[in-house]
Amino acid sequence: MIREFAGWTPYPRGTVAKRSTSFICQACGAVYQRWQGRCEACGEWNSIAEEATGEANAAPVAGGARLKKGRVIQLEGLAGTPMDAPRQPSGIAELDRVTGGGFVKGSVILLGGEPGIGKSTLLIQAAAAIARAGSRCVYISGEESAGQVRLRAQRLGLGDAPVELAAETHVEDILATLATGSPPRLVIIDSIQTMWTDAVEAAPGTVTQVRASAQGLIRFAKASGAAIILVGHVTKDGQIAGPRVVEHMVDAVMSFEGDAAHHFRILRAVKNRFGATDEIGVFEMGGAGLVEVPNPSALFLGARDASVSGTAVFAGMEGTRPLLVEIQALVTPTALGTPRRAVVGWDQSRLAMVLAVLEARGGVRLGQHDVYMNVAGGFRILEPAADLAVAAALVSSLADIPISPHAVVFGEISLSGLIRPVPQAAPRLKEAAKLGFSEALLPDGSAEAARQAGLKTRPALRIADLVAEIAGGPPRKPSSARVSHERE
């Protein structure tokens, strides 16, 4: 009955209720005392909205009751026997790789991704696998009806899985339902932006409601031991919207990435208190749902044309997994006053740095050329070890000389023109040898690891050595060096 009278809240005798409002940025959660057009914390425009706190600033008045004292908690030291976090395997090897071996009891995971990328499909498959193993799984949908979720499960061949399903958005009702019966092992909330709670007075999807709803669900997870997955939407620039203010509250943050033009998806761990970060899992979207890809390197290199100039195979690392991807570059004379620089799958500022080092230290003149760079397959590279592969692809495209199809490239380029070794060179080279590569163009400090892996080494100490290796001839002085456009 209390919920029928919006804005009325009972207070104990001796207190005074004081309503207050604040202006909160819906993108990052920053709080302001008055409205303004641009958020100073994240730089977004028109993202600040007025919200009521929904909390009673109750204070004791004259003659009122005194504040109740808190209980004394027991403090413990660091010494003692640590406890291993019990895990529930999901039945999907790629998902277990990203989570660190399965879902930890009492943990809360935030999963973000673009609409239609396959978040609900992945979670339905995981819930069905755990439920078939004998554990209680609950799927709460706030965006779709129970019939729509059931239809998707039947299309995936999971209609017989004993997953408990409900379409609800009220957090108090959800927690009361979860508390009945045996504690669930896995709870999926799809999505957190649709949830609302009586604790605050704000519209669903606002920062205040998202934070309050997440707090209630997290408290239930810690008390009951159930693992909870919160699904969140992303903004146009790929950041998790709304739940970004919840990232510090959850135990793990995972991002489900992919391109609608490609058939594979990448699950990436951004934060994980119970496992390694920057771990990835690769899936392929098919008619029967998401299928695991045990060898993603072969997938990314499947349609490679090694006879074309401007391509280089980069041996990268994603967490503990070595991954080989193709880097493509196209350098053409420009007809504009300012040359174009277009990048897909890599950092734009990192490309500008590599271009500057190539011109200043390697003598490669690119000031009158448009530069286009792409990571094949829609993959996104984050580590600086791709510097040398990008530079090799650029020089190969400018000189119109293909790089050896049997060579892999990796290394970090410094502003002085030196090529620096990168960590975990041995697993990179072992993965390359397993896929049939026999040569490695890499920093001089990693030559021993290449010989141990059975690959022919082509070490480079400076960026001028890379230019000479690809374009042919001895290294030239940076002041007069210029890559020829003709094949030698």
- CATH 3.50.50.60 for domain 299-471, yes or no, is no
pLDDT of residue 1: 34
What pLDDT, in 10s, does the model give residues 416-462? 999 999 998 999 999 899 888 999 998 988 888 888 888 888 888 89
Higher pLDDT, 228 or 277: 228
What pLDDT, in 10s, does the model give residues 355-369? 999 999 998 988 899
Q: Name the pairing type of β-strands 48-52 and 419-420.
A: unpaired
Q: Is the pLDDT of residue 68 over 90?
A: no
Report the pLDDT averaged over residues 459-469. 89
pLDDT of residue 29: 77
Per-residue confidence at 284, pLDDT binned at 50, 70, 90? confident
pLDDT of residue 239: 56
pTM of the prediction? Answer: 0.73
- Percent of the chain topping pLDDT 90: 43
CATH of 89-294, one of 3.40.50.300, 2.30.110.10, 3.50.50.100, 3.40.640.10: 3.40.50.300
- Note whether 277 and 318 are within 8 A (CB): no
Site of tokens 């990314």: 300
Report the pLDDT averaged over residues 60-69. 50
What pLDDT, in 10s, does the model give residues 255-265? 888 766 667 88
Local structure of residue 53 (DSSP, 8 states): -
Q: Chain-wide mean pLDDT for the chain?
A: 83
Report the pLDDT averaged over residues 140-166. 93
Q: Is the pLDDT of residue 375 over 70?
A: yes
Report the pLDDT averaged over residues 53-65. 45
Q: Is the pLDDT of residue 474 over 80?
A: no
| Distances, alpha carbon 146 to alpha carbons 164, 167, 208, in Å | 10, 6, 27
What pLDDT, in 10s, does the model give residues 107-149? 999 998 888 888 999 999 999 999 999 999 999 999 899 999 9
CA proximity to 242, closest of 277, 202, 280: 202
Looking from the CA of 446 toward its CB, the CA atoms found within 13 Å total: 31
- Cα separation, 350 vs 292, whole angstroms: 32
Per-residue confidence at 164, pLDDT binned at 50, 70, 90? very high
DSSP per-residue string spanning 353-418: HHHHHHHHHS----TTEEEEEEEGGG----SGGGHHHHHHHHHHHHHT-PPPTTEEE--EEPTTSB
- Cα separation, 60 vs 45, whole angstroms: 40
Beta-carbon neighbour count of residue 420 at 10 Å? 17
Q: Where in the chain is the domain with CATH 3.30.230.10?
A: 299-471
- Cα separation, 249 vs 451, whole angstroms: 46
CA proximity to 325, closest of 371, 372, 284, 377: 377
Higher pLDDT, 30 or 213: 213
Q: What is the 3-state secondary structure (H, E, C) of 296-319?
A: HHHHHCCCCCCCCCCEEEEEEEEC
Q: In whole angstroms, what separates CA 298 from the centre of its chain?
A: 22
Report the pLDDT averaged over residues 280-291. 85
| Distances, alpha carbon 247 to alpha carbons 109, 213, 243, in Å | 9, 13, 7
Higher pLDDT, 482 or 230: 230
Local structure of residue 239 (DSSP, 8 states): P
* Sequence-distant (≥ 6) Cβ neighbours of residue 267 within 8 angstroms: 94, 95, 98, 122, 254, 255, 256, 257, 280, 281, 282, 283
- Determine which of 81-85, 120-124, 223-227, 331-335 has the lowest per-residue pLDDT on average: 81-85
- Note whether 269 and 278 are within 8 A (CB): yes
pLDDT of residue 287: 78
Per-residue confidence at 66, pLDDT binned at 50, 70, 90? low
Report the pLDDT averaged over residues 375-389. 88
- Note whether 31 and 48 are within 8 A (CB): no
Per-residue confidence at 172, pLDDT binned at 50, 70, 90? very high
Show contacts of 35-38: CB within 8 Å, 24+ apart: none
CA proximity to 178, closest of 136, 119, 123: 136
pLDDT of residue 253: 92
Report the pLDDT averaged over residues 200-216. 86
Q: Where in the chain is the domain with CATH 3.40.50.300?
A: 89-294
